[in-house]
Amino acid sequence: MSSTSTTPPSTTPLSSTPRSSLGRLAERGRTDRADLYDVLDAGIVCHLGIVLDGAPVVLPTGYGRVDDTLYLHGSTGASTLRGAATGLPVCVTVTHVDGVVYARSVFHFSMNYRSAVVHGTARLVSDEDERMAGLEALVEQLAPGSWSHARLPDRKELAATSVLALDLAEASVKVRNGPPGDDDSDIANTAYWAGVLPVRTVFGDAEPAPDLIPGTPATPDHVRTRPPR
Amino acid sequence: MSSTSTTPPSTTPLSSTPRSSLGRLAERGRTDRADLYDVLDAGIVCHLGIVLDGAPVVLPTGYGRVDDTLYLHGSTGASTLRGAATGLPVCVTVTHVDGVVYARSVFHFSMNYRSAVVHGTARLVSDEDERMAGLEALVEQLAPGSWSHARLPDRKELAATSVLALDLAEASVKVRNGPPGDDDSDIANTAYWAGVLPVRTVFGDAEPAPDLIPGTPATPDHVRTRPPR
């Protein structure tokens, strides 16, 4: 199966601990930090894993990145964040599905995708400047251009918000792209079509809030012309 | 914030254990089994969480559903599947991002989404009929219509494939939809636009495999006209 890199190498490799080293299909692995940034920066949602009472819990949530730190946030009352904030290990995974791979054989059906898996221990951010920088990164990841187009949080809102930081020290990146990888005997058989159906995430037309009052600006450019991820 | 149900109630409610009962924003919860099916059936990828050496690991993978059983599969050599197959607790989460919610205040930025979180202990499927049914569900979830348009697995391929089953007994469903939920004082302010940018997953034009040989059928309808999720 094809899996060619699309980003130029940078100078800082990703770490390679046992759990961040790929076992199966290691040829799909990326070891460059720039690939990690690319996958993270293209996402809207991550899946945060923590362990509660010995069992895994996986929840979707927003995130933001500043250099080699990933920020998460939530209500001070959220149990998952409370768990992560007490120094428990976490896993944050971001996945983009890029295509459905139709093979001639059921066995070789697959997905084209890019995924990043980050392992670590989250740190509850207490420094007010870092908290604001983390929240800005979160808002800009979800809605680029919005931090300067919205009312910033007041003291009460800040008090209700936990910000967690996760170092991007231990991570793995995996990419599959290209056509199906059927066996030669199946390729020689004309019975079945094979190929890739691309999957894309696109934005529709902006829907202004029904309670906008007269005098509010029209849909701003950073929303109206937001490029697809 | 708006969160109205879009599916009619069925007769079997979802379970309500402490970990599958929503804490925060419980008004976003869905307690109907039909809502769980809707979220699962609309997905391509799930995020599988397991615990390895006390730490969470979250990996993207395909899945399929038959009634109240979710099927996962992978290589017999995959360490995550080995873990899940030994009777460890797992968490499977499927998330659809439906929109980016631009609020007047940073605090109320949000996502419209549908998510399902399933808790349980996976079972390694050994019955050959159930294994094939699970694999069919997996292929049909990823690529509807394909099970009858591809070579079915042979004995060697089946031996290399683990199939895991997870009962859909303990699960929660959460949905956010509708416009931003700004405070009244911000709604009265005309400084900032607010609204929703819809997010959609669409399929591009099918890309036939470069090694298709003459005589192979053209791109079949179940690929060419696959409706968006």
pLDDT per position as a tens digit, B10-19 = 445 676 676 7
Of A139, A193, A206, which has the smallest distance from its Cβ to B219's Cβ?
A193
| Structural domain contains residue B32 | yes
B77 CB neighbours in chain A (<8 A) are: 23-24
| Structural domain contains residue B35 | yes
Q: Is B29 on the interface with A (CB under 8 A)?
A: no
| Structural domain contains residue A26 | yes
pLDDT at B228 over 80: yes
Q: Nearest-CA residue of chain B relative to A45?
A: B97
Q: Which of A139, A147, A151, A176 to mutate to test the interface with B (most CBs of B within 10 A)?
A: A151
Helical (H) or strand (E) element with A159: helix A155-159
The reply to whether residue A49 touches residue B62, judged by beta carbons under 8 angstroms, is: no
| Structural domain contains residue A149 | yes
The reply to whether residue A142 touches residue B109, judged by beta carbons under 8 angstroms, is: yes
Domain that holds residue B87: 18-201
Tens digit of each residue's pLDDT (9 = 90 or more) over B63-79: 999 999 999 998 887 77
b/e map of A164-191 (b: 16 or more CB within 10 Å)? bbbebebbbbbbbbbbbbbeeebbebee
Q: What is the pLDDT of residue A3?
A: 36
Of A91, A109, A220, which has the smallest distance from its Cβ to B146's Cβ?
A109
| Structural domain contains residue B218 | no
pTM: predicted TM-score of the whole model, two decimal places = 0.91
Query: What CA dihedral angle connects A33, A42, A201 and B45, to 10 degrees?
Result: 50
Tell me the ipTM for this assembly.
0.90
Kindly indicate the confidence band of residue B84, based on its pLDDT and cuts at 50, 70 and 90.
confident
Residues A216, B191: Cα–Cα separation, whole Å: 6
> Between A and B, how many CB-CB pairs are < 8 A?
314
B23 CB neighbours in chain A (<8 A) are: 77-79
pLDDT at A31 over 70: yes
Tens digit of each residue's pLDDT (9 = 90 or more) over A172-187: 999 999 999 999 999 9
B107 CB neighbours in chain A (<8 A) are: 153, 157, 161
| Structural domain contains residue B9 | no
Tokens 């800082």 -> residue = A12
Six-digit token pair at A17? Answer: 């601990």
Of B150, B205, B220, which has the smallest distance from its Cβ to A103's Cβ?
B150
Output Rg (C-alpha) for chain A, integer angstroms.
21
Q: Nearest-CA residue of chain A relative to B50?
A: A56
Q: What is the pLDDT of residue A25?
A: 66
Tell which residue, A117, A69, A127, A65, has the closest CA to residue A90: A117
pLDDT at B2 over 70: no
Residues B98, B38: Cα–Cα separation, whole Å: 14
Q: Is B26 on the interface with A (CB under 8 A)?
A: no
Compute the nearest-CA separation of A24 from chain B (Å).
6
Q: What percent of chain B has pLDDT over 90?
A: 79
Among the ranges given (A23-27, A175-179, A219-223, B208-212), the one the predictor scored with the smallest mean pLDDT: A23-27
CB atoms within 10 A of CB B165: 19
pLDDT at A40 over 90: yes
Q: What is the pLDDT of residue B159?
A: 93
Tens digit of each residue's pLDDT (9 = 90 or more) over B133-190: 999 999 999 999 999 999 999 999 999 999 999 999 999 999 999 999 999 999 999 9
Q: Is B23 on the interface with A (CB under 8 A)?
A: yes
Of A19, A52, A106, which has the smallest distance from its Cβ to B152's Cβ?
A106
Among the ranges given (A103-107, B30-34, B123-127), the one the predictor scored with the smallest mean pLDDT: B30-34
Kindly indicate the confidence band of residue A19, based on its pLDDT and cuts at 50, 70 and 90.
confident
Residue B6, classified by CB atoms within 10 Å of its CB into exposed (0-12), middle (13-18) or buried (19+), is exposed
pLDDT at B6 over 50: no
* Residue B223 Cα distances to A75, A103, A183, B144, angstroms: 43, 12, 21, 8
Compute the nearest-CA separation of B93 from chain A (Å).
6
Kindly indicate the confidence band of residue B1, based on its pLDDT and cuts at 50, 70 and 90.
very low
| Structural domain contains residue A165 | yes
Q: Is B148 on the interface with A (CB under 8 A)?
A: no
Domain tally, chain B: 1
Residues A98, B51: Cα–Cα separation, whole Å: 28
Q: What is the pLDDT of residue A16?
A: 64
Using DSSP's 3-state secondary structure scheme, residue A229 falls into coil
For A27, residues 6+ apart whose C-beta sits below 8 A from its C-beta are: A1, A3
Query: Which CATH number do you get for residue A23?
Result: 2.30.110.10
Helical (H) or strand (E) element with A222: helix A221-224
Percentage helix, strand, coil for chain B under 3-state DSSP, each rounded to 5: 25, 35, 40
| Structural domain contains residue A133 | yes
The reply to whether residue B202 touches residue A203, judged by beta carbons under 8 angstroms, is: no
Which of the two residues, A158 and A18, has the higher pLDDT score? Answer: A158
The reply to whether residue A197 touches residue B189, judged by beta carbons under 8 angstroms, is: no
Mean pLDDT of chain A: 90
